[in-house]
Chain A
Amino acid sequence: MSQIETLGILEEIEVLVSDKLQVVSYKWLSRNFLVSSNAAKRLLQEFVKTRGSGVEVVYTLSGWLKNSPSSYHIRLVSGPKLEEAKQEFDGNCSVQVYSVQACIPKDPAALWNAEFVQAEDLFKQSFTVDNCLRDNRFCGILNSFVRHNVDGTTASNAAPQPKSVEIPVPLKSNSVCQNVPPSQQTKVQQSPKVGPQSPNLVKDVKSESNGAGVHDLAAKETADGEKFSLLAANKKIGQSDKTSSGNGGSLANLWGRASAKSKPSSAEADNNKHIPNPTVSAEAQISACEAIEDGSSGDEAQDVNFKRASNGDSSRKRRVVLDYSDDEYEDAVNLASPELPKGQSSKTLVLEKPQVNKQAEDKPVIEVEKSTKGASNQLLREDSSVGKSIDSNTSSLEKIQSNITSSDFKKDTAAGAAPNSPKRRKVLKTRIDERGREVTEVVWEGEETQTKKAETADSKKRAENNAVTNTANNRAPASKKSPATGNAGPSNPGSKAGNKKGGNKDPKQGNILSFFKRRASQDYCSFRIYSLSLQMKQIRKTLQKRISERKLNIIE
């Protein structure tokens, strides 16, 4: 084990013991960090050595007792009683660190609690998931001929499979351990027939755009009947995902960017596994896979997916159809999308060809767009008949923010956007293209388009935040939002780190809010829950005390 890794674990132990007040036993450590139990014991030993004074240590003593019918004995002893206990053993006994904790718990069962919960979690995982308890990998007794058979496939096939899935695990902390299984689980739910494919494929599908593109195709072909399957799939995922993210630690959920590399790859691995299988209809599979991806990033993403499923019902209003007389580059653009390339300093929001290219897979996008075009055009017409000044399609963001009717909204934008700076303003240009469709474009006129865009991005983000405080992270919804409008958003995932600029003066300065999600209400809740749990503990303790007292009385 490399020095650095060890240091990392030691620090982690420190946090667990001193901040979370958890009992860290060697078993727990071994399972959590996927080290052998001997290594875990050594780690604890080292931890005790370096931080001996601050923590309470429980040792395991094992050896022959001095009593006349000499028997082999294993005993847990707390630090101060160690020497005394050693005397009871005959000759040499082995002394190992069993656990470290902030204080010796009154109830000895508490020593064992953390690892019991952990073991239960591991056993509760789906049968297809291989974990350290199932394959017994840290056991001292190994038989190389016996292999753990995952998923009922042939042994030769199954053996390498779990490894490929779990490769990232040793690098990360426990949260990832819990993370990997859900996607697997969902896979099972979606299509139990699918057997694991060669894990090598995982690397082939690194780019998210791949998956998105496929999905767009699927969306195009999605007939009415299939919408239901889509919805159903999403719901299913939603449920299963919620339960799995319930244990809180999911790093990826909180911190979309950080895990962007590890997590989607596992999801996409699934993606690939499904596609070649002919037994399940392609659409259902793909949508399921997409849903896995989306679902993993939280509720918001699912919302979006619903929207997409009912293609054009709710999302239609947020569209601006930008028509290039050339059919090839028709595209639907969500104005509020923060994905706008920041390099684009032109004064209009009209997308240029290169940008469309950059968003990858134009083809499917275009086709999706086509399917909804008729409807959105109609909508445009309606709007312009209400009053041609400003189109309600122009910016979805204010809409989200205020949830008001389009006429209200018009006042909003007219009053809100214009006075901000006299130099730039939103101008609406409506024209009839040669197909006879009415096309409305929003054009920024003025010089400081850059800053303005930043502001829109920012306010949109805020709107999202307000609407869904639970979103997994700021980033994900932003990029997932765009697919709702048929824009191949996911092909452009969080690569532009701080694209959302703050409302501060420097347009280049990133905003911390685009990295951390707000959790005011949650925090309050967790505070409440925490104090309640403390009270519960207290009550339980007193109850236990009373019970034991009564027992004593009865015995006497």
Chain B
Amino acid sequence: MLELRLVQGSLLKKVLESIKDLVNDANFDCSSTGFSLQAMDSSHVALVALLLRSEGFEHYRCDRNMSMGMNLGNMSKMLKCAGNDDIITIKGDDGSDTVTFMFESPTQDKIADFEMKLMDIDSEHLGIPEAEYHAIVRMPSAEFARICKDLASIGDTVVISVTKEGVKFSTRGDIGTANIVLRQNTTVDKPEDATVIEMNEPVSLTFALRYMNSFTKATPLSNTVTISLSSDLPVVVEYKIAEMGYVRFYLAPKIEEDEDETKPET
């Protein structure tokens, strides 16, 4: 038996919007800790990890650990039927092959039930250990989305380099090149507008803008985004979900042609 009641139903809608383009089908795992998802995109280049902690739900009941395979496109279709202020309840039964989404309007005068078929998904769970990153950039999420969008109109890939000076996003395309440098800026009125750069080592990595742009679909979830980079690890783009958890996107870097020569062999 599973019953999750989320007062801020729009949150779930936003979460689905942010990941449904990247991943078609995924298993949602429910345990006493929370409601989580881990899935790779079809080309195995990017990975989404979502966590909604149980404390974030108004009511959270999960008797047994459950894994529910859902088509995210279909789930999103159903969630679109929920109003932005609606309370969403997710219900599931052991052994049942459906999941029920219940939408209650805030005034309780409208209640809608949507039942969706589950599917068997053979997903591979990957172990993602905690790691120390060479550089961590926290910046306004809208700013990041803007940069990715702008650069995508010029080139296909973005080189993100973090140095003492700041973080540089650069691209190169047929029509020319573009460089955007952000400096650390903590003297702002609102803390979410700050750009904070924590750097242990300078890092420069290349990524496909296509994926970055699909990550920025999560921008409505959070005012800030955290980008963690290490030269030998996938980048992590994390959007915190208010008091509840996070959506993390992992993206494998592109291999740079000249990287091998320049890098000393240690």
Contact = CB atoms under 8 A, between A and B. Distances in A.
Interface stretch (B103-111, B129-137, B139-147, B164-172): B129-137
Contacts of A48: none
B234 A493 contact: no
A523 B125 CA distance: 7
A255 interface: yes
Contacts of B125: 518-520, 523
A514 interface: yes
A451 interface: no
A206 B264 CA distance: 12
B64 interface: yes
Nearest to B34: A19
Contact of A512 (B45, B255, B266): B45
B252 A514 contact: yes
Nearest to B245: A19
A522 B125 CA distance: 9
A260 B232 contact: yes
B126 A508 contact: no
B198 interface: yes
Contact of A527 (B31, B128, B131, B233): B31
A512 B254 contact: no
A517 interface: yes
Interface string B246-266: 000011111111011101011
Contact of B126 (A173, A502, A518): A518
A418 to B, nearest CB: 24
Contacts of A226: none
Interface size class of B (residues with CB under 8 A): 35 or more
A494 B126 contact: no
A519 B198 CA distance: 31
A535 B259 CA distance: 52
Interface string A158-181: 000000000000011101000000
B47 A512 contact: yes
A155 interface: no
A531 B64 contact: yes
Contact of A504 (B45, B127, B230, B250): B45
Contacts of A491: 265
Contacts of B126: 512-513, 516-519
B250 A512 contact: yes
A522 B261 CA distance: 38
B65 interface: yes
Interface in A178-223: 206-209
B167 to A, nearest CB: 17
B26 to A, nearest CB: 14
Contacts of A498: 252-255
B253 A497 contact: yes
B94 to A, nearest CB: 12
A6 to B, nearest CB: 13
Contacts of A19: 33, 53
A531 B31 CA distance: 9
B265 A495 contact: yes
A516 B259 CA distance: 22
A18 B263 contact: no
Contacts of A343: 257, 260-261
A530 B132 CA distance: 27
A105 interface: no
Contact of B131 (A18, A255, A520): A255
A536 interface: no
A173 B123 CA distance: 30
A511 B256 CA distance: 14
B44 A512 contact: yes
Nearest to A501: B255
Contact of A258 (B65, B230, B251, B260): B230
A172 B230 CA distance: 16
Given A54-B55, A519-B126, A504 B44 contact: yes
Contacts of B47: 512, 516
Interface string A243-278: 000000001001101101100000000000000000
A513 B44 contact: yes
A491 B121 CA distance: 41
Given A258-B232, A502-B45, A516-B126, A509 B265 contact: no
Contacts of A516: 47, 126-128, 234, 250
A342 interface: yes
A515 B127 CA distance: 9
A510 B124 contact: no
B265 A502 contact: no
Given A258-B232, A510-B252, A517-B126, A496 B260 contact: yes
Interface string A348-383: 000000000010100000000000000000000000
Contacts of A511: 44-45, 252
A47 B198 CA distance: 21
A492 interface: yes
A342 B263 CA distance: 14
Interface string B33-73: 10000001001111100000101000000001100000000
B137 to A, nearest CB: 14
Nearest to A12: B130
A4 interface: yes
Contacts of A207: 265-266
Contacts of A434: none
A260 B32 CA distance: 35
A251 B131 contact: yes
Given A18-B53, A492-B265, A527-B65, A515 B252 contact: yes
A88 B125 CA distance: 54
Contacts of B208: 506, 509
Nearest to B33: A19
B163 interface: no
A251 B130 contact: yes
B213 interface: no
Contacts of B256: 508
A341 interface: yes
A499 interface: yes
Interface in B188-239: 198, 208, 230-234
A534 interface: yes
Given A342-B260, A515-B233, A172 B132 contact: yes
Report the 4 A-B pairs with minimum CB-CB distance, sorted nearest first.
A510-B252, A516-B126, A254-B129, A258-B131
5 contacts: A208-B266, A358-B265, A504-B44, A515-B233, A516-B128
Interface of A: 4, 18-19, 54, 171-173, 175, 206-209, 251, 254-255, 257-258, 260-261, 341-343, 358, 360, 491-499, 501-504, 506, 508-520, 522-523, 527, 530-531, 534
